[in-house]
Structure 1
Amino acid sequence: MIVLGIDPGSRRCGFGVVEREGARLRVVESGVLEPGDLPIAVRLGRILDGLDAVIARARPAEVSVEAVFCGASPRSALVLGQARGVALAVAARAGLPVFEYAPAEVKLAFTGNGRAGKDQMLRTARMLLGASPDLSDEADALALAVCHLARRPLRLATAAGKRGAASALARLVPARRDHRRSAP
């Protein structure tokens, strides 16, 4: 199973591709896309192109993206939302399922501490994966991929349970009939 983790940002977009073989994790590729100090539309276009290239090279089966969280300011939240939109669109265009995780859930799954700081995320990436990320964006993207690989069996079981419950409910509840009487 190969998973692409994406830590979206308009100035720095981290990506990390992790493969799981049995209990072993291996970093396939990771890095940070830095489109430069350009207008937002150009930066988003460069991020789109960069993520397309990563997907073409690594051929992940699934994508893990950081869920929406409240930004420091409305403008920052809006720009982050635009970068997330690019990440989601790239995955959708490639036909890849996307899974979203809250930052605290990722930190907890990766380091054992839901409030881990940047240094702890970098240290864990180096220790757990043997990776040497230079920036926290890259470490966060690797953590997103690892979090998904750890949580994947539960997410799939929960999804199957919901489908099974809906199917069972549909069998129990008879089709709705129109009980209105016709006028005499």
Structure 2
Amino acid sequence: MNALAIKKGSSRHSAYDLRNPLGDHQETHTLAVIVNNESGVLARVIGLFSGRGYNIDSLTVAEIDHRDHLSRITVVTTGTPAVIEQIKAQLGRMVPVHEVHDLTVEGPSVERELALIKVRSQGEKRVEAMRTSEVFRAKVVDTTLESFVFEITGTPEKVDAFVALMRPLGLIDVARTGVAAISRGF
């Protein structure tokens, strides 16, 4: 075998194991960032992601403490373990950021998302849409003779599954809030 034809990282026992020790696989992490509630903070945080080419899968922002003027930004992002660590470090160095929590690694957490799903259907498809909504505990929040608007709350995977089942039944539109997450316990 020609020594120059060795594939990068081809053997765990090779003296030339050149694989990245932090891994090349993509992971999805949920970050909770506590920031000052002032103008421009969200733009600066999002600018950090866009300026470095990081992707945001979901983003929610809301004030959590009116007296201390604090807001919580919940970001779901995907990257290699090294990229996730870099994102957390760079967020932590920003002036308006008070805390950065990686809910994915800090222990159990609760994640929920709200979605409104509009479905146009008639006849048997309309009945099937109603049956499916009951299984998923989705509520009908608006109805006409030709359409429904369902409200569903749950994990992003549950919302994805409901949307996938509504597609052949006449899905028209979907509006999603993004993930809201909080750690469990103390």
- Given the two structures, how large is their TM-score scaled by the length of structure 2? 0.29
- The structure with the largest helix share of the pair is 1
Greater per-residue strand proportion: 2
Larger radius of gyration: 2
For normalisation by structure 1, the TM-score amounts to: 0.29
